């Protein structure tokens, strides 16, 4: 999960400026300003994610983060498309795709979700692997770092292969989809996480 919420965050932070330039024809300055709408909340709202994880449980927060990510990435992955339809009065054309403001709004929501997810993953670790928290945290951090390194390379390869800039989001959508299935079979079926409140901790006397 951390390879998504942290690795994906790093990868998209590196990728978004040139995406705005290539997809929407923005200048570098404007592209960087809009890209900050993703990277800034993704970095500064982790404390809120930690509070939510303490309040509602790390499993529930992680589960909902993945669902929000799945919805956002599904919409972000749809490429700019022009349709031509032959009607009784002649050919009609229309365009389907996100404008720059809708794209930025979805990216902002994704950044907020991943900020919460970065906190919930470490709460998840402390709940599940309290005896080996150091080792597990190191492995999780490694997975996140590798994700941030590998993803921009894969983004570039996909664009070269398909010619579709939004293929980067298609890749992340697939990864999140697999993670949702994995979490369902490993956590959700074992113990309900949807809307559960974390059990209160009893202070030692």
Determine, yes or no, domain membership for 32: yes
Determine, yes or no, domain membership for 197: no
Determine, yes or no, domain membership for 21: yes
Determine, yes or no, domain membership for 79: yes
Domains of the chain: total: 1
What's the predicted TM-score (pTM) here? 0.82
DSSP labels, the chain: -HHHHTHHHHHHHHHHHHHHHHHH---HHHHHHHHHHHHHHHHH-HHHHHHHHHHH-HHHHHHHHHHHHHHHHHHHTSPPEEEEEEETTEEEEEEES--HHHHHHHHHHHHHHHHHHHHHHHHHHHHH-GGGHHHHHHHHHHHHHHHHHHHHHHHHHHHHHH--TTHHHHHHHHHHHHHHHHHIIIIITTS--TTPPPPPPPPP-
Looking up tokens 């022009």 gives: 82
Determine, yes or no, domain membership for 52: yes
CATH number at residue 91: 1.20.1250.20
CB 113 within 8 A of CB 65: yes
Rounded (5°) CA angle 14-6-198? 155
Determine, yes or no, domain membership for 204: no
Determine, yes or no, domain membership for 205: no
pLDDT per residue as tens, the chain (205 positions): 777 888 888 889 889 999 999 999 999 999 999 999 998 888 788 888 888 988 888 888 889 999 999 999 999 999 888 888 888 888 888 788 889 999 999 999 999 999 998 888 878 777 766 667 777 777 777 777 777 788 888 998 999 999 899 999 999 999 999 988 888 887 766 655 555 544 444 444 4
Determine, yes or no, domain membership for 202: no
Range of the domain at 69: 2-188
């Amino acid at each position: 999960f951390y390879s998504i919420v942290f690795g994906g965050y790093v990868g998209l932070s590196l990728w978004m400026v040139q995406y705005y330039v290539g997809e929407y024809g923005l200048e570098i300055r404007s592209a960087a300003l809009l890209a900050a709408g993703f990277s800034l909340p993704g970095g500064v709202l982790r404390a809120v994610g930690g509070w939510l994880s303490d309040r509602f449980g790390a499993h529930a927060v992680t589960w909902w983060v993945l669902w929000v990510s799945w919805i956002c990435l599904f919409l972000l992955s749809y490429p700019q498309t022009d349709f031509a339809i032959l009607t009784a009065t002649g050919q009609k054309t229309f365009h389907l795709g996100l404008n720059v403001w809708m794209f930025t709004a979805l990216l902002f929501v994704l950044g907020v979700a991943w900020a919460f997810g970065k906190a919930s993953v470490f709460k998840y670790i402390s709940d599940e692997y309290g005896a080996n928290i150091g080792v597990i945290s190191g492995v999780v951090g490694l997975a996140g770092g590798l994700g941030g390194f590998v993803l921009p390379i894969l983004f570039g390869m996909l664009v070269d292969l398909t010619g579709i800039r939004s293929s980067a989001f298609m890749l992340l959508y697939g990864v999140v989809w697999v993670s949702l299935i994995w979490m369902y079979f490993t956590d959700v079926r074992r113990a309900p996480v949807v809307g559960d409140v974390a059990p209160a901790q009893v202070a030692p006397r």
